[in-house]
Structure 1
Amino acid sequence: MTDHPDKSVANGGHPGAIAAIDPDHTAVIAQDGSRLSYRELDTRSLALAQKLHQSGIVRGDAVALLIGNRIDFFVAAWAAQRSGLYFIPIATRLTPTELAYIFDDSGARALILDPALVEPAAAALAATVNAKPLVLTLDPVDGYEAVPQEIDADLPLPEPIEGGDMLYTSGTTGRPKAVRRALEYAALGSDMRRTLRDADLYGMDADTVFLTPAPLYHAAPLRFSLNRHRTGGMVVVMNKFDPEQALALIERERVTHSQWVPTMFARLLELPEDARTRYDLSSHRVAIHAGAPCPPDIKRAMIDWWGPILYEYYSGTEGVGFTHSTSAEWLERPGTVGKAYGSTIHIVGEDGKELPVGETGTVYFEGRAGLVYHNAPEKTREAHHPKGWATFGDIGHVDEDGFLFLSDRRSFTIVSGGVNIYPAEIEAALAVHPAVFDAAAFGVPDPTFGETVQAVVQLHEGEGSEALAREILAFLRERIAAFKLPKFIAFRSDLPRTETGKLQKHKIRDDYADPVNRGFDMRRAGVRT
């Protein structure tokens, strides 16, 4: 046990309540060792919340966060969370065109901006149709107003009520859509659902030191981290994942809990033996992973190294359901993503009827209602069963003991290194190249990242070549983020479509499972992707 005062759930459930008990206790630790105390997190987030509300931004409005992995990301997130606002963490690698779409689609009334990202943000704002947000920078920048550091005693404070995140996900119709659940405007500190689950499954409490090596704009690192601040735990943030640095941080900060994606495990296992054994990992009690299927050999190797401290879960940004598996359960049933927690699984066939144990169908969850995709009523309807159940869009089955096994992603979303890549965005960009008649993008197996992007192109005329593949990649680089770029480009004489125009990717995907058949490898061709 530590010697700091008790900061249990009963004592408040938000940074201000923790600060009232132990103001100097560390809330966030950066990779470089800089720290943010609960007093600083409380004061600075409240000062920013005050500024937003004094600027006419009221409860239910949205605030965009374009911020890298730095400790004051949490100042911006808690400013919105503590004052009844939505906050939209945005991927920092998006192009100005992609950012402009999110600014317009979300209706964000304010943008909290990392100074390192001023240039793409400015280009995006210049291209927006409707969005004209208040822009505040985390540090002083010429021509921009900086976020306040202190509360203005002469001005009123916003009402202390719970807000919530608004995260962009799955773009099967060409562009991502935001999950925007209705806010209840409950008293600040009352939203403890995920915090209680973390305590139950992982033993997280006031003594937790949580390492997040992933970008904070993703749902899992974001939500796990913010929930540590409801019970007085500490969050250790890596500005960018590095396998040996992650081990060093576990030793330096005596990390107790962490959250990973399988690609990180693969890179950890690639470290030389002397690096893997150099660090004291004895404090590390729980390693949580999700985001993509974990290759069995990699998971077994991690359990052999770290012990049975790996806990896998299956969920999603939409939050409609949750499954959980311990190391022991997974070793008994390799490949499972666990049993339902706080929800009930229903496997449904194409006719909409529930299937028996062992049969494969769409995975639906019963338990948490209220899923809404912002500005996308059709997508919202498609995610729901007539009985009110909701789905992430995945295919799978449950065994006789209720353990879920996933077999495919209904939407063909590519999961590369735990990051979702949406094929329709890539296909839309390919379609405007003058040489391209038709195009498909999908995931193909990759030993390190789980999946990587394969593009298949049908030309208007002529035959494909490496030179044309290079030209197409350069064309795409101007339109989509680098992590979405195809690693392989193949040319094909025709692409199968139904009479209604739907691309039948399932008919060609298996043709490219073998790397020998994937066409031109952009990495071996010397092209940076």
Structure 2
Amino acid sequence: MSDTVLYSGERSTRRSDCEGRAHRAASGLRDYGINRGDSIALLLRNDFAFFEAARAATLLGASPVAVNWHLAPPEIDYVLQDSGAKALIAHSDLLQGLGGVIPKNMLVLEVDTPPELRVAYRLPSMNRVKTVETVPWDHFIETHPPLTHPCRDFTDTMTYTSGTTGKPKGVIKLPQEPGLAKEFLAVRDRIYGIKPGIRALICGPLYHGAPNSFGMRTYAVADKVFLMPRFDAREFLATVERERITTAFMVPTMFARLLKLPPEIRDLHDVSSLQYVVTAAAHCPPEVKTAMQAWFGPVVHEFYAGTEQNYVTYCTPEESLRKPGTVGRALDGVTLRIMDSDRQDVPAGTPGEIVSRLDTAPEFTYANNAKARTDLDVGGLIATGDVGYLDEDGYLFLCDRSKDMVISGGVNIYPAEIEAELHAMPGVADCAVFGVPDAEYGEALMAIVQPEPSSDLTADEITTHLKNRLAGFKVPRRIEFKSHLPRDDTGKIYKRKLRDPYWEAARKFREKAAG
């Protein structure tokens, strides 16, 4: 296997160097008392240190916990507590303001934020005000010998998703023995187009499930891996041309941003090196995929998956053109069924809940919530909460997502968490948060608030309230007020009555535009 070269800005390193540093870091973490089954939190942007830290955790048989660094301090506090993380590895700038969040007995390893990240996020170059005791990452590595007897089990990254209650749940993938793990990773490689010799571009955040899976495998297999500090449409095109990129994972929002570029900008760049571009995390609209295929060529693939059930279906470029809107057919080794509310199979063409399982996927559980895992089990399969149908040829089409979940820019958002914060706000009698069509993000959050009779709440006040308590991407982009909300006989809000008019209007607009 070749020694992968990693690039970020003006910096470069080799996988062998990262592995050497990871073994030393693992040795130090073991001295600190971290062992198989423990967890280590990673609050890191796209950087070489992410690979070093994740590998250090897996060498111990511990779970690296990829923390979304957009989260507000109380949300980060929840993840640290719920995951039981024994150490935190974080970029310097992301530690700012977390002094009251990080447990006093937690080992905090501080990674210097590199120049390209500071430029991309317009971060000040001045030293931060220290609010927590830290150990420099480089010093920690240099002062420990390489790890002896590393764990050979495959340990995947632990990510946090949300349930219908709105409380984030940590998805723990249980270790696999090497043989089974090899079969599972072969499926991953096929889905992402990963093979020796490719030149891969990581343009999504490594804390997110799909970019993380893509990134960790390209790190292990690819010839060259290029890290984008953050996605920028023009920089993406420039990088593809300059570095002759062959392979990339992208969410549909990235496609939308590329297609918004003026034709004269798009035509400036040669993208003919691209051989395999795969999309997932949110369903790609047929018209967007068709436009990307016309531009990039027949290289755009799609898959349907979930954090818990892993990979379910796969769609080739040819299938996308032949059956617009499909997310493909079940992969080898996948059991896929469409069921009604009584857990009975439904006929082809009939929507129902998607229930599936990949036989080589690692078993999983939820941190501190084994019951939630049990609740998803349907005869050994996993209930996704997603709604779709199979046509007579076995191709899957998505109709809807979980009843309440919103997928905005490829990120899963559960309105219950936002609604809980709104209910705690003085002046709010009731509320409903849901997704409405958005040309760039697929869906955008909208909140309809029923104020108390004597309240004079404004949208700006609500936005400020939420921004102080939640990550920015969870703050609704649209806020409207109604004197009452539609409810059923039990008092439950009919969200569909609020949401459907927006989607129906978007459908009519598309039909009119199509002539």
Q: What is the CA–CA distance in structure 1 between the aligned matches of 2:469 and 2:51, rounded to whole Å?
A: 30
Q: 1:160, CA displacement in angstroms?
A: 4.5
Residue 12 of structure 2 corresponds to 35
Does structure 2 retain, via aligned residues, the 8 Å contact 1:251–1:280? yes
Residue 304 of structure 1 corresponds to 294
Residue 221 of structure 2 corresponds to 231
One of 303, 307, 313 as aligned partner of 2:303: 313
Q: What is the CA–CA distance in structure 1 between the aligned matches of 2:35 and 2:365, rounded to whole Å?
A: 21
Alpha-carbon displacement from aligned partner over 1:206-238 (angstroms, at most 9, x marks no partner)? 201111111110011101111123334432111
Letter of the structure 1 residue corresponding to residue 109 of structure 2: L
1:414 aligns with 2:414: no
Residue 337 of structure 2 corresponds to 346
Does structure 1 retain, via aligned residues, the 8 Å contact 2:312–2:336? no
Letter of the structure 1 residue corresponding to residue 374 of structure 2: R
Q: 1:164, CA displacement in angstroms?
A: 2.3
1:197 aligns with 2:216: no
Specify the SS of the correspondent of 1:41.
helix
1:219 aligns with 2:209: yes
Task: Please list, as runs of the form range in 1=range in 2, the aligned pairs for 1:66-145 lying within 5 A after superposition.
Answer: 66-125=43-102, 132-139=105-112, 143-145=133-135
The number of residue pairs the alignment matches comes to 484
Task: Please list, as runs of the form range in 1=range in 2, the aligned pairs for 1:352-363 lying within 5 A after superposition.
Answer: 352-363=343-354
Range moving further from structure 2, 191-200 or 270-279: 191-200
One of 361, 377, 389 as aligned partner of 1:384: 377
Alpha-carbon displacement from aligned partner over 1:166-221 (angstroms, at most 9, x marks no partner)? 1101232122101112224x45x973334312444565222011111111100111
Does structure 1 retain, via aligned residues, the 8 Å contact 2:27–2:146? no
- After superposition, the Cα gap between the structure-2 partners of 1:389 and 1:155, relative to the gap in structure 1 and judged at 3 Å, is closer
Q: What is the CA–CA distance in structure 2 between the aligned matches of 1:107 and 1:307, rounded to whole Å?
A: 46
Does structure 1 retain, via aligned residues, the 8 Å contact 2:233–2:257? yes
- After superposition, the Cα gap between the structure-2 partners of 1:411 and 1:46, relative to the gap in structure 1 and judged at 3 Å, is farther
Task: Please list, as runs of the form range in 1=range in 2, the aligned pairs for 1:308-457 lying within 5 A after superposition.
Answer: 308-341=298-331, 342-368=333-359, 370-385=363-378, 387-457=379-449
Q: TM-score scaled to structure 2, two decimals?
A: 0.88
Residue 258 of structure 1 corresponds to 248
Specify the SS of the correspondent of 1:164.
coil
Letter of the structure 2 residue corresponding to residue 75 of structure 1: E
Q: TM-score scaled to structure 1, two decimals?
A: 0.86
Q: What is the CA–CA distance in structure 2 between the aligned matches of 1:384 and 1:503, rounded to whole Å?
A: 28
Query: Which stretches in structure 2 are left out of the alignment for 5+ residues?
Result: 114-126, 507-515
- After superposition, the Cα gap between the structure-2 partners of 1:295 and 1:201, relative to the gap in structure 1 and judged at 3 Å, is closer
Q: What is the CA–CA distance in structure 2 between the aligned matches of 1:60 and 1:137, rounded to whole Å?
A: 23
- After superposition, the Cα gap between the structure-2 partners of 1:320 and 1:382, relative to the gap in structure 1 and judged at 3 Å, is farther
Specify the SS of the correspondent of 1:315.
strand
Q: What is the CA–CA distance in structure 1 between the aligned matches of 2:13 and 2:392, rounded to whole Å?
A: 48
- After superposition, the Cα gap between the structure-2 partners of 1:154 and 1:69, relative to the gap in structure 1 and judged at 3 Å, is closer
Letter of the structure 1 residue corresponding to residue 405 of structure 2: T
- After superposition, the Cα gap between the structure-2 partners of 1:366 and 1:198, relative to the gap in structure 1 and judged at 3 Å, is closer
Residue 198 of structure 2 corresponds to 208
Does structure 1 retain, via aligned residues, the 8 Å contact 2:376–2:383? yes
Alpha-carbon displacement from aligned partner over 1:478-527 (angstroms, at most 9, x marks no partner)? 111111111111112223445666443223222444789xxxxxxxxxxx
Does structure 2 retain, via aligned residues, the 8 Å contact 1:290–1:314? yes
Query: Which stretches in structure 1 are left out of the alignment for 5+ residues?
Result: 1-6, 8-21, 517-529
Q: What is the CA–CA distance in structure 2 between the aligned matches of 1:191 and 1:220, rounded to whole Å?
A: 18
Q: What is the CA–CA distance in structure 2 between the aligned matches of 1:339 and 1:482, rounded to whole Å?
A: 35
Q: What is the CA–CA distance in structure 2 between the aligned matches of 1:485 and 1:154, rounded to whole Å?
A: 45
- After superposition, the Cα gap between the structure-2 partners of 1:344 and 1:415, relative to the gap in structure 1 and judged at 3 Å, is same
Residue 470 of structure 2 corresponds to 480
Alpha-carbon displacement from aligned partner over 1:256-276 (angstroms, at most 9, x marks no partner)? 100111111111011122221
Q: What is the CA–CA distance in structure 2 between the aligned matches of 1:93 and 1:289, rounded to whole Å?
A: 22
Range moving further from structure 2, 223-232 or 477-486: 223-232
Range moving further from structure 2, 114-123 or 311-320: 114-123
Does structure 2 retain, via aligned residues, the 8 Å contact 1:85–1:164? no
Q: 1:292, CA displacement in angstroms?
A: 1.1
Letter of the structure 2 residue corresponding to residue 27 of structure 1: V
Does structure 2 retain, via aligned residues, the 8 Å contact 1:65–1:88? yes
Q: What is the CA–CA distance in structure 1 between the aligned matches of 2:193 and 2:410, rounded to whole Å?
A: 24
Q: What is the CA–CA distance in structure 2 between the aligned matches of 1:201 and 1:512, rounded to whole Å?
A: 34
Residue 268 of structure 1 corresponds to 258
Q: 1:378, CA displacement in angstroms?
A: 3.7
Q: 1:39, CA displacement in angstroms?
A: 2.1
Range moving further from structure 2, 43-52 or 221-230: 221-230
Alpha-carbon displacement from aligned partner over 1:237-266 (angstroms, at most 9, x marks no partner)? 111100010111112222110011111111
Q: 1:461, CA displacement in angstroms?
A: 0.8
Letter of the structure 1 residue corresponding to residue 77 of structure 2: A
Letter of the structure 2 residue corresponding to residue 79 of structure 1: A
Q: 1:43, CA displacement in angstroms?
A: 0.8
The CA RMSD measured in Å over matched residues stands at 2.3
Q: 1:370, CA displacement in angstroms?
A: 2.6
1:489 aligns with 2:476: no
Question: Which structure shows the higher strand fraction?
Answer: 2
